[in-house]
Structure formats: C-alpha cells, structure tokens
Amino acid sequence: LGFSITGVVSTYASYYGYGNGTIWLDRMYCSASDNKLIDCLRGVSIGYTSCGYNEMAGVYCKSGGSCVNGGIRLTNLQGRSEGRVEVCQSNEWGTVCDDDWGSNDAKVACRQLGYDDTYYYSSYGGAGSGMDDLGCNGSETSLFNCSSNILGSCSQSQYVQVRCYS
C-alpha cells in the first residue's frame, strides 16, 4: 500500500468487520522483506482455508516514517486517511501549497498513498516551503510526476489536505 513498515499495526478477529465472499489466504507467514502478500509463505494453498468470517485479518498503516525522496505522507491526521499532505524532497519532509491544487492533484495524492481515486480536498492555514503550483492531469501515479515548482513557498492558509477512501 505504499506505507513505511515502521507505521504498521496488525489487527485480528475481524477488527474492521466480518468479511464475505471467498477467503483466499490463510495461515500467512510474512517477513519484513516480503513485498506482497502473495510472496509470503503459506501453511495452505491459495483458496484452501479453515478460516471463518469472524477471523479476518486487518492492518492499520500510519503515514509517516522515514523520508525517502519521492515519498508522500499525511500529517495532522483527522482520521486514518485524512490529513495535511507532505512530500519528501532532498531527504526532508515539506508541505504542498494550494496554488493550482485541485481535484486531479488530490486524486494523484490518494493514489500514491495506496487509496482509490475517491477523495476530498481543501486548504487550511500554515506556512512553510515545499511543492507549489502542481499541475496533475489525474493519471499520474505520483505527485512528483506532475508539473510543479518544487521549491515553492507557502504563505498563510495555503497547506492542502485530502481525505482518501478505499
């Protein structure tokens, strides 16, 4: 999902609700080096399970962690998937200003964070420096693929925030 592994909390016993449909994976043995669930060792073949819908696994991914150039995170979280957008440039977290920020930019931010393209966006107070004058067309996979003035400055009331949905 694109999150740092330092911000992961696992859940069990259907913490997020009971599932429905086919249960594909059971008895998972993942290591920190596995990039996909399908790469993890399994105690049974895909599609074979003794799991019930009251045993669904879940995960809560916290934004943040180490700054890797091209990374994105949400801060000042209002919920699990809503907050101020920050980007990592030159190994330092910075803000995104609301100059030319619009729905296409928000779509790309949510997509880069691992969410669907459903979003809400707004701007609110703050000042700092970071990505400015974004020009996403909505099809990009990263805010860094959009046209932008990376070294912009935000004045009061120019930070952006998004709410992303799965």
Q: How far apart are CA 120 and CA 106, in angstroms?
A: 7
E-strand spans in 19-91? 28-29, 41-42, 58-61, 72-79, 82-89
> What is the number of other CB atoms lying within 10 angstroms of the CB of residue 98?
21
Task: Note the pLDDT tens digit of each residue in 64-86.
Answer: 557 788 888 888 777 778 888 88
pLDDT confidence of residue 155: 65
Instruction: Give the Cα separation of 15 and 24 in Å (integer).
Output: 18
Q: How far is residue 76's CA from residue 84's CA, in Å, rounded to a whole number?
A: 6
- Cα Rg for the chain, rounded, in angstroms? 18
Tell me the C-alpha distance between 63 and 65, whole Å.
7
**pLDDT truncated to tens, each residue of the chain (166 aa)?**
555 555 555 666 656 667 777 888 888 888 777 777 778 888 888 887 888 777 777 766 555 557 788 888 888 777 778 888 888 888 888 888 777 788 888 889 888 888 876 566 776 655 556 677 788 898 888 888 888 756 666 665 677 888 888 7
